[in-house]
Structure 1
Amino acid sequence: MNGTTLIGLSLASVLFLSLVHVLADMLRWKRQLPQKYWLSFADGISISYVFLGLLPKIVEGTAAFPDSLGYAAEILKHSPFLPLLIGLVAFYGMERMVEKPVDASGSHIAHEATGLRVWIHLASYAFYKAIIGYLIVQMNNPVSIVIFAISMAVHFLVVDYRMMDIHKGVYQRIGRWALTIAILVGWIVGATTVISPVVVTLLLSFLAGGIVLVVLEEEFSREHPSSFPAFVAAVAVYTVVQISI
């Protein structure tokens, strides 16, 4: 497949992903299927993609780091998941920043985060989406692009639910559109600039850390019921698909 066709496929994938947040509320099955089932299934797909899709690429990428990076290359070759850890910690910090307050009885108080914390949280997810848009352009295999797009679309449904739960009106009015534009901006940057494979690997690691954090937050949330059977079913389905490919 030539470069023009790959660019076209990546653009189609980004346009598809950009519509997920805009159309998420219109999906009929989200209203008919109990939330705990579709959320856990989406989480299972997301975490499976991290372990079976992203981590092998990260290990391969860090192993190829040039010696010209010096001591940093040595550290990353021996600790290839360090950027993943950094990404997880960074997103954890963002989540704690907008965490719902707890009353004296230990129950979460319903509220809508406001002020600077809202915009920092939205900006962090916009950066997250821009990374995804950028990474799609860097893929040179049509199958990889399609799998990545489908996996991220499912993951976006989880993010969309989470952001609506935390920010409600602000996300509905502004945040959803900001995330939609961010992924398109990321694609444009990727299509018009050349960035080192080292940076691509580091971005993959950061993305993996963010996905892991979002999944764990949802599956172990005390406020949102989850379904272990749905989670396991998703992991099994994705594993079969990955092995067959």
Structure 2
Amino acid sequence: MNSIVLIGLSLASVVFLSLVHLLADMLRWKHQMPQKYWLSFADGISISYVFLGPLPKIVDGTIAFPESLGPMAETPKHSPFLPLLIGLVAFYGMERLVEKPTGLRVWIHLASYAFYKAIIGYLIVQMNDPVAIVIFALSMAVHFLVVDYRMMKIHKEVYQRIGRWALTVAILAGWIVGITTFISPVLVTLLLSFLAGGIVLVVLEEEFSREHPSSFPAFSTAVIVYAAGQIAI
């Protein structure tokens, strides 16, 4: 497909995703549907995307690591999910860091999520399949609702005033970096691993949280729907 068309589609997807946080509170169904159902459904979509989308790409990316990396190339080839584990641990470390009651807590949390969103904006540019771009954008839009809920729950005042705008700018900035610079495939694989690890951690924390109930039927329905859609495609 024409590169200009792909760039246009990626830009449209980024603009769409950037609006999710700004318009999240205006979604009527979020207020009408019990929280445990829509959150668990969103978590099911998010986790399905990780296992059916990034994981195969991470495996392919680690296998393709150049020999010039030496031992650093061999280890991921034998343990292709190692980058995912590193991503999950890194994101978990940031989550635990912001639990400390300091004045910097909210800003550290916002910075980590801004980096997270910038990665998403960057990765969209790297896609050369319009169907993959659309699936990625829709999956991330649903996941963003979970992130929005978390940030509203933890940092409501600052998030409403500054946070939503910061995350919106971050994803646009990531897209601009992707358009204007070249990053090695090795780094792209590592960024994808960080993203996948972050999604898995957010989903697990929400689904096993004691602060709000979850719904296994809603979660499993989302997994079935997403998997069926992937098979149909």
**Shorter-chain TM-score above 0.5:** yes
Count of aligned residue pairs for this structure pair: 233
Residue 195, structure 1, aligned to residue 195, structure 2: no
Aligned to 1:42: 42
Counterpart residue number, 1:33: 33
Aligned with 2:211: secondary structure? coil
Please give the alpha-carbon distance, in whole angstroms, between the structure 1 residues aligned to 2:80 and 2:39: 30
> Which secondary structure does the structure 2 equivalent of 1:168 belong to?
helix
Cα distance in 1 for partners of 2:179, 2:42 equals 29
Distance in 2 separating the partners of 1:129 and 1:82: 22
User: What is residue 6 of structure 1 aligned with on the other side?
Assistant: 6
Q: How does 1:62-211 map to 2 (within 5 A)?
A: 62-99=62-99, 115-211=103-199
Alpha-carbon separation, structure 1, partners of 2:102 and 2:30? 27
The TM-score, its normalising length taken from structure 1, stands at: 0.93
Within 2, Cα distance between the matches of 1:217 and 1:87? 16
How many angstroms does 1:40 deviate by? 0.1
Instruction: Kindly provide the CA deviation profile for residues 125-164 of structure 1, in whole angstroms up to 9, marking residues without a partner as x.
Output: 0000000000000000000000000000000000000011
Deviations 1:46-68 (A, max 9, x none): 00000011101111111111101
Query: Does the 8 A contact of 2:42 with 2:143 survive in 1?
Result: yes
Contact residue 39 and residue 214 of structure 2 kept, 8 A = yes
Distance in 2 (CA, whole Å) between partners of 1:81 and 1:202 is: 11
Misfit runs of 4+, over 3 Å: none
Give distance in 2, aligned partners of 1:117 and 1:85.
24
* TM-aligned CA deviation for residue 114 of structure 1: 5.7
In the alignment, structure 1 segments of 5+ residues that lack a partner are 101-112
- Is 2:213 the partner of 1:230? no
- Aligned-pair Cα RMSD in Å: 1.1
Report how far residue 89 of structure 1 moved: 1.4
| Runs of 5+ unmatched residues, structure 2 | none
Provide the secondary structure at the position in 1 that maps to 2:218.
Answer: helix
Worse overlay, 130-139 or 117-126: 117-126
The CA distance in 2 between the partners of 1:92 and 1:205, in whole Å, is 13
Q: State how far apart, in whole Å, the 2-side matches of 1:166 and 1:237 are.
A: 30
Question: What letter corresponds to residue 167 of structure 1 in structure 2?
Answer: H
